[in-house]
């Protein structure tokens, strides 16, 4: 078994988390079916999270072999007649090891959905550098986005075990129910508003809003603010070339008056 295939490299530097545990668990099941089987796991680093470390200890006791490899010396699978052979440099022996194999199993890394970027742009939710969705706060809001009413769970967030995905799904449902059970939603006190007489309906504010809180109403010929979604960040105010968008309590006249009073 070869771990970290397609992950923990320059293209995908993250760990897929479940590969080591699954490989060791499968090796244990093969040993249980036939104790005479010679099984070798080739790995970058063994990462058996939480109580899954017990799998690793048991595998060692059953004489399942483990060989580590470096990124610049990846194992090679070559054909030798009707069979295959795995060539890998063993850093402990400090020499290349040739392993004849009946079966070569690859632990493939988790790859994010290629549509994540498009979905994120549509819903105005961020993705990280690896292509997975990024939560609002890793500790305080682990299943929320900065955009209200949109939640994440499972491998859309990051590689994880099935039990972790189920737990996160329950958390996301719980957060959604908290919104649905309310009779009304309180808006932020500091929200944007549009001066319809100045607005040219250019759509620049709609493009720049990170919360999808402002949209151009073609029938009205101006932009409109959804105060429930608005966080009062001021991006629309700063981007408006017609000075048609202001924040409650922070419009141009009020801010300039404060500046003049300081003088």
2-108: CATH, from 2.60.34, 3.30.1490, 3.30.310, 3.50.50: 3.50.50
Per-residue model confidence as pLDDT tens digits over 172-206: 999 999 989 988 877 677 899 999 999 999 999 99
The Cα–Cα gap between 181 and 188 comes to: 19
CB atoms within 10 A of CB 22: 18
Q: What's residue 202's pLDDT?
A: 94
| Start and end residues for every CATH 3.50.50 domain found in the chain | 2-108
Alpha-carbon span 175 to 19, nearest angstrom: 30
pLDDT tens per residue across span 35-67: 999 999 999 999 998 899 999 999 999 999 999
Residue 41 contacts residue 5 (beta carbons within 8 Å): no
CA angle (215 as vertex; 214, 221 as ends), nearest 5: 125
Q: Could you give the 3-state DSSP secondary structure of residue 245?
A: strand
pTM: 0.75
CATH class for the region spanning 192-262? alpha beta
pLDDT of 84 strictly over 90 = yes
């Amino acid at each position: 078994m070869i771990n970290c295939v397609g992950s923990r490299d320059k293209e995908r530097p993250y760990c897929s988390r479940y590969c080591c545990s699954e490989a060791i668990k499968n090796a244990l099941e093969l040993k249980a079916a036939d104790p005479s089987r010679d099984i070798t796991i080739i790995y970058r680093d063994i990462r058996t999270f939480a109580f899954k470390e017990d799998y690793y200890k048991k595998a060692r006791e059953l004489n399942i072999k483990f060989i580590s490899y470096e990124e610049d010396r990846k194992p090679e699978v070559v054909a030798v007649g009707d069979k295959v052979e795995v060539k890998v440099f063993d850093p402990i022996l400090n020499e290349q090891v040739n392993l004849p194999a009946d079966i070569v199993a690859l632990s493939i890394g988790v790859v994010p959905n290629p549509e994540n970027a498009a979905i994120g742009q549509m819903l105005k939710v961020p993705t990280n550098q690896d292509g997975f969705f990024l939560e609002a706060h890793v500790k305080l809001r682990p299943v929320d986005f900065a955009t209200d009413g949109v939640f994440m769970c499972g491998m859309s967030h990051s590689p994880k075990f099935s039990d972790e995905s189920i737990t996160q799904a329950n958390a996301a449902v719980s957060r959604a129910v908290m919104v649905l059970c309310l009779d009304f939603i309180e808006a932020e006190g500091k929200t944007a508003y549009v001066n319809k007489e100045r607005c040219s309906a250019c759509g620049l504010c709609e493009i720049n809003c990170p919360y999808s809180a402002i949209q151009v109403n073609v029938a009205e010929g101006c932009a409109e603010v959804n105060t429930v979604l608005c966080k009062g960040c001021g991006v629309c105010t700063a981007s408006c070339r017609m000075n048609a968008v202001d924040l409650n309590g922070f419009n141009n006249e009020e801010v300039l008056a404060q500046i003049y009073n300081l003088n």
